[in-house]
Amino acid sequence: MVRTVPVADPGDLLARLPERAPYAWVRHGEGLVGWGEAARTTVPPGPGRFAWAREWLAQVLGEAHTDDSVHRPGSGPVAFGSFTFDPDSPGSVLVVPKAVLARRDGRAWLTTVGDAPMEVVTPLRDPGAILYGDGSLTAPEWQHAVARAVDRINDGELEKVVLARDLNALAEHRIDVRLLLTRLVRRYPECYTFSCAGLVGATPELLVRHTGEAIESLILAGTIARGGSPEDDARRGAALLASEKDRHEHHCAVESVRDALAPLCKDLTIPDSPELLKLSNVQHLASPVSGRLSDGASVLDVVAALHPTAAVGGTPTGSAVSLIRELEGMDRAGYSGPVGWIDAHGDGEWGIALRCGQIEGSRARLFAGCGIMGNSRPAAELAEAQAKLRVMQYALEG
């Protein structure tokens, strides 16, 4: 039995979360937070994983007896999910929380499954001192991997590949995910701050928002650091907009999204040239996408068609994914995979899990990657990956 009721403005959504297993998808104070587990599944790896997930959702959400007086995207039963980057990696999960609190366009509602118990909201806890250690590759090893990727691109094997690295963090105490979320929403209000089954971050990249037949997406690729002064910042932004290398890298991502969405859409709009998106740590080339679906596809069908875009895989996709497996020396797990939520009508919002970490107890594994082209310089790519890693370092350290 699922019940959705309107509620008075709940204030800060994150402040309502209990410490144990919090779920979140929040931007500019709006979105969904959830807690408890009414249903959970681990999606079997393999090429059919999105179809499997859709069937599981149809069964679990479809079976619910729903009393929903709100009737909005995100009301009624909702599942949060995270899919691994690599279809062959284990660890993709879908969870229907026992309680979901949501706010959108000035309205707020609460959905409960069965008799959702009241959760005690304890104060946020600081994880104490953080120690960092190399992940799968040291910084020089990773630069070497970038150099090998550049060679392979110049040999004509592929056009673009996104290479990522991981960084291990060990905290003095157990990490309170809610504290990370609270810091992330403050510093990265433009981003989607998410938490699902230990995967926590603030991504600027919207894979797809699905509301009825309307879809939206935001393609990012091409990055430069923020400047030290307004003039320096503007100069860097202008240099990024004018950079052949970054525009080509961005173009690869745009074409991968266009190819994936065109067969599903009756109309699709992607601007001819990218704009600048400025975040606290970096600025990106960005292309906002909008369209209308031609049939009743759910948000998960669109996710399945889009993933992996060239913003996190490369061009062509198949060669890029095999080169990633060969050179990164790690399992990306949920990093750069789809993360988000879906309701019983197939509406939902999914991002690409970037600027994130996998949190377990007092340990965190942080990830960041960069698009590599034939003229990429390993030292510059390392600096870019470090700037992106700083998002989660800040979340841990404050």
| Active-site residue list | 160, 205
Q: Are 36 and 119 in contact (CB under 8 A)?
A: yes
Dist CA 97 CA 200 (whole Å):
16
Q: Does 248 participate in binding ligand ISJ (rule CB under 6 A)?
A: no
Contact window for ligand ISJ (CB under 6 A) among 114-122, 123-131, 214-222, 293-301: 214-222
Structure tokens at 25: 């998808």
Q: Does 68 participate in binding ligand ISJ (rule CB under 6 A)?
A: no
Residue of 215, 355, 387, 396 interacting with ligand ISJ (CB under 6 A): 355
Q: Does 371 participate in binding ligand ISJ (rule CB under 6 A)?
A: yes
Cβ 372 to ligand ISJ shortest distance, Å = 8
CB-wise, 211 or 243, nearer to ligand ISJ?
Answer: 243
Roughly how many angstroms between the first and final C-alpha of the chain, as a whole number?
41
Cβ 311 to ligand ISJ shortest distance, Å = 3
Neighbours of 394 (CB within 10 A): 18
Q: Does 27 participate in binding ligand ISJ (rule CB under 6 A)?
A: no
Dist CA 383 CA 146 (whole Å):
12
Give the C-alpha distances (Å, rounded to integers) separating 18 from 72, 99, 158, 167, 235: 25, 11, 47, 27, 44
Q: Are 283 and 238 in contact (CB under 8 A)?
A: no
Residue of 388, 394, 395, 396 interacting with ligand ISJ (CB under 6 A): 388
Residue of 370, 387, 392, 395 interacting with ligand ISJ (CB under 6 A): 370
Cβ 387 to ligand ISJ shortest distance, Å = 9
DSSP string covering 303-363, please? HHHHSSPTTTSEESHHHHHHHHHHHS-S--TTTTSEEEEEETTS-EEEEE--SEEEEETTE
- Count of positions on this chain that bind ligand ISJ (CB under 6 A): 18
Within residues 176-205, the interface with ligand ISJ by CB under 6 A covers: 205
Q: Are 350 and 365 in contact (CB under 8 A)?
A: no
Within residues 125-164, the interface with ligand ISJ by CB under 6 A covers: 162, 164
What is the contact surface with ligand ISJ in residues (CB under 6 A)?
162, 164, 205, 220-223, 284, 311-312, 336, 354-355, 368-371, 388
